[in-house]
Amino acid sequence: MAVGVLALQGSFNEHIAALRRIGVKGVEIRKPEQLQNVDALIIPGGESTTMAKLAEYHNLFPALKEFVKMGKPVWGTCAGLIFLANKAIGQKEGGQELIGGLDCTVHRNFFGSQIQSFEAELPVPELAAKEGGHESFRGVFIRAPAILEAGPEVEVLADYPVPAKKLTDSKFAAGNQQETTESKGKVIVAVRQGNLLGTAFHPELTADTRWHSYFLKMMGKSGQQNGSKEEDLSDNQQLRTDLPIFQ
């Protein structure tokens, strides 16, 4: 079993290292034909506009879209989440091409600039139920996006509280002035829809590999073959790699 990691720019090395810790081979993907040799794909965090330009240069978009349509598991973190969304707002002039597949509206830079990056404990009941460990996960948000709206087939795995005015202003910018009680005062930061997984934060920058294990199990029987290795690493899942917190 091999998991591809889009290696155009961003934190692809960190994802490959996390996969290695749970006994899975990560393969750097830079050309369309390389996607034929992997069973799943991770699109890492980075600078989404730069990644989009490089993907276009290497003619990767048709192959990436086909990979999603084939039903193979794809996980997007931060910039990768933007790529997988059906709609993105807050983009630079001219926008960028999206792969699509997630029935979501993503605000590209919801949490602000680089110096407004932060860490937060996120309640993750679904992740804890499937992978064990803490009921929370330390999310590392670096110039991070957020999901403002998600369709009925999208399963919300984590959300984060924000000032209601910020959320209202962002939804107004998205062209939706209606705000439901359920969404008031929080944004979505992790979702799953079928074969697609998206996180606005960077699990690869922590020592907690539960999101990577969760993603592998989306691969079905191939992922289950690694169950014993995942269980053996349960102690490591308690470790944290704390980064500076910027307020």
Is 132 assigned a ligand-binding role in the annotation? no
In this prediction, residue 160 carries a pLDDT of 95
How far is residue 52's CA from residue 76's CA, in Å, rounded to a whole number?
13
Is 108 assigned a ligand-binding role in the annotation? yes
212 belongs to the catalytic site: no
| Local confidence band at 38 (pLDDT 50, 70, 90 cut-offs) | very high
134 belongs to the catalytic site: no
Is 56 assigned a ligand-binding role in the annotation? no
Is 82 assigned a ligand-binding role in the annotation? no
Tell me the whole-structure pTM to 2 decimals: 0.83
Report the number of secondary-structure helices (H) and strands (E) in the chain: 9, 12
In this prediction, residue 73 carries a pLDDT of 97
Q: What percent of the chain has pLDDT over 70?
A: 79
| Local confidence band at 94 (pLDDT 50, 70, 90 cut-offs) | low
Is 30 assigned a ligand-binding role in the annotation? no
In this prediction, residue 176 carries a pLDDT of 55
204 belongs to the catalytic site: yes
In this prediction, residue 49 carries a pLDDT of 86
Give the H/E segment covering residue 150.
strand 146-150
Q: Which one from 119, 204, 212, 230 is the annotated catalytic residue?
A: 204
Token pair, residue 223, equals: 């992922």
Is 47 assigned a ligand-binding role in the annotation? yes
pLDDT, average across residues 6-24: 95
CATH superfamily to which 2-173+181-221 belongs: Class I glutamine amidotransferase (GATase) domain (3.40.50.880)
Q: Which one from 78, 131, 149, 230 is the annotated catalytic residue?
A: 78
In this prediction, residue 230 carries a pLDDT of 36
Compute CA distances 135 → 25, 101, 125, 210, whole Å. 28, 29, 6, 12
In this prediction, residue 168 carries a pLDDT of 59
In this prediction, residue 39 carries a pLDDT of 92
Residue spans per domain, the chain: 2-173+181-221
In this prediction, residue 181 carries a pLDDT of 33
Token pair, residue 16, equals: 């490959």
101-128 burial, b for 16+ CB within 10 Å, e for fewer?
Answer: bbbbbbbbbbbeeeeebbbeebebeebe
| Local confidence band at 33 (pLDDT 50, 70, 90 cut-offs) | very high
**Residue that wins the pLDDT comparison between 91 and 230:** 91
pLDDT, average across residues 48-71: 93
In this prediction, residue 1 carries a pLDDT of 73
CA atoms within 13 Å, Cβ hemisphere of 232: 7
pLDDT averaged over the chain?
83
How far is residue 48's CA from residue 97's CA, in Å, rounded to a whole number?
10
pLDDT tens readout for residues 123-174: 999 999 999 999 999 999 999 999 999 999 999 999 999 876 566 556 545 5
Token pair, residue 163, equals: 């000032």
